[in-house]
Amino acid sequence: MSAPALVTRREIELSEPHPSLAIYSTLSKRKEPFRTVEPGKVGIYLCGPTVYDKAHIGHMVGPVIFDCIKRYLKYCGYQVTWVVNITDVDDKLIHKAGERGISMLQVAEENIADYMGNLAALGVDQVDHFPRATECMGDIVAIIESLIDRGYAYASEGDVYFDVTKDPQYGKLSNRTLDAIQGDGGGTAERKRSAADFALWKSAKPGEPSWDSPWGKGRPGWHIECSAMSKKLLGETFDIHGGGLDLVFPHHENEIAQSECCHGKPFAIYWAHNGLLRRDASAGKIGGRAERERSPSPPHKAGDGIASAHKAGDGIAGPDGIAGPDEQVSGKMSRSKGAGGLAALIAHQGGQRIRFFLLRTHYRSTVLFSEEAIEEAAVGLETFYRLFKRYHRITRGDFYHLSAPAHRSEDTAAAASGHAALAAAAVCKQKFLAAMDDDFNTGAAIGELFELAKIANRFCDEHNLEGGGADNATMGDLTMLMATIKELSNILGLFLKPPALPGGHVANEALLGKVMQLVIDLRAEARKAKNFATADAIRDGLASAGVKLEDRAGGTEWSGGDAATLERVVQLLINLRQTARQNKDYAASDAIRHRLGEIGVKLEDRGGETEWVR
RNA sequence: GGCGCCGUAGCCAAGUGGCUAAGGCAUCGGAUUGCAAAUCCGACAUCGUGGGUUCGACUCCCACCGGCGCCUCCA
Q: How confident is the model at residue A309 (pLDDT cuts 50, 70, 90)?
A: very low
Q: How far is the CA of A33 from the C1' of B54 (A)?
A: 29
A614 CB below 7 A from strand B atoms = no
pLDDT confidence of residue A330: 25
Q: Give the angle subtended at the CA of A145 by the CAs of A142 and A149, to the nearest 5°.
A: 135
For all residues of chain A together, what is the average pLDDT? 86
Q: Residue A44: which H helix or E strand, with range?
A: strand A41-46
A443 CB below 7 A from strand B atoms = yes
CB distance A7 to A264 below 8 Å: yes
Q: How far is the CA of A464 from the C1' of B30 (A)?
A: 20
**Distances from the Cα of A390 to the Cαs of A385, A458, A460, in angstroms?**
9, 12, 9
A309 CB below 7 A from strand B atoms = no
| SS3 at position A342 | helix
C-alpha A347: how far from chain center: 13
Q: Which residue has the higher pLDDT, A350 or A552?
A: A350
Q: Is A423 exposed, middle or buried (0-12, 13-18, 19+ CB in 10 A)?
A: middle
A386 CB below 7 A from strand B atoms = yes
> Which residues of A91-237 form beta strands (DSSP E)?
153-156, 159-162, 198-203, 218-220
DSSP calls for A368-422 = E--HHHHHHHHHHHHHHHHHHHHHHHHH---GGG----SS----HHHHHHS-HHH
pLDDT confidence of residue A416: 56
**Distances from the Cα of A379 to the Cαs of A384, A466, A562, A605, in angstroms?**
10, 24, 29, 20
A588 CB below 7 A from strand B atoms = no
* Tens-place pLDDT, residues A163-211: 999 999 999 999 988 877 766 655 567 889 988 999 999 999 998 999 9
Q: What is the mean pLDDT of residues A7-11?
A: 73
Judged against a pLDDT cut of 60, whether residue A6 lies above it is answered with no
Check residues 231 to 290 of chain A and report those whose beta carbon is under 7 Å from nucleic acid strand B. 243-251, 274, 276-278, 281-290
Q: Convert A179-216 to b/e letters by CB count within 10 Å (16 or more is b).
A: eebebeeeebeebbeeebbbbbbbbbeeebbbbebebe
Q: Which positions in strand B are less than 7 Å from the protein's CB atoms?
A: 1-6, 11-16, 22-26, 33-41, 67-75
Percent of chain A at pLDDT exceeding 70: 86
pLDDT confidence of residue A311: 26
Q: How confident is the model at residue A458 (pLDDT cuts 50, 70, 90)?
A: very high
Check residues 123 to 162 of chain A and report those whose beta carbon is under 7 Å from nucleic acid strand B. none
**Distances from the Cα of A547 to the Cαs of A28, A516, A532, A588, in angstroms?**
67, 10, 19, 24
* CB-side neighbour CA atoms (13 Å) of A612: 23
Q: Which residue has the higher pLDDT, A502 or A586?
A: A586
Q: What is the mean pLDDT of residues A132-153?
A: 96
User: Which nucleotide has the shortest C1'-to-CA distance from A441?
Assistant: B14
Q: Find all residues with CB under 8 Å of A283, minimum gap 6, and list them.
A: A290, A291
* Tens-place pLDDT, residues A555-583: 788 877 777 788 888 888 898 898 889 88
Judged against a pLDDT cut of 90, whether residue A497 lies above it is answered with yes
C-alpha A570: how far from chain center: 33
CB distance A218 to A200 below 8 Å: no
Percent of chain A at pLDDT exceeding 90: 61
pLDDT confidence of residue A281: 79
A24 CB below 7 A from strand B atoms = no
* Tens-place pLDDT, residues A59-118: 999 999 999 999 999 999 999 999 999 999 999 999 999 999 999 999 999 999 999 999
A394 CB below 7 A from strand B atoms = no
A484 CB below 7 A from strand B atoms = no
Point out the residue nearest to B32 (C-alpha to C1'): A461
Q: How confident is the model at residue A542 (pLDDT cuts 50, 70, 90)?
A: confident
CB distance A536 to A549 below 8 Å: no
A438 CB below 7 A from strand B atoms = yes
**Range of weakest confidence among A139-153, A379-393, A397-411, A515-529:** A515-529
Q: Find all residues with CB under 8 Å of A549, minimum gap 6, and list them.
A: A520, A523, A539, A542, A543, A556, A557, A558
pLDDT confidence of residue A308: 27
Judged against a pLDDT cut of 50, whether residue A296 lies above it is answered with no
Check residues 211 to 240 of chain A and report those whose beta carbon is under 7 Å from nucleic acid strand B. 222
Q: Which residue has the higher pLDDT, A523 or A152?
A: A152
pLDDT confidence of residue A297: 36
A478 CB below 7 A from strand B atoms = no
* Tens-place pLDDT, residues A256-285: 999 999 999 999 999 999 999 998 878 889
Q: How confident is the model at residue A412 (pLDDT cuts 50, 70, 90)?
A: low
Q: How far is the CA of A186 from the C1' of B71 (A)?
A: 16
- Quote the CA–CA distance of A466 and A451 in Å, as a whole number: 21
Q: What is the mean pLDDT of residues A449-455?
A: 98
Q: How confident is the model at residue A414 (pLDDT cuts 50, 70, 90)?
A: low
Judged against a pLDDT cut of 50, whether residue A35 lies above it is answered with yes
pTM confidence score: 0.88
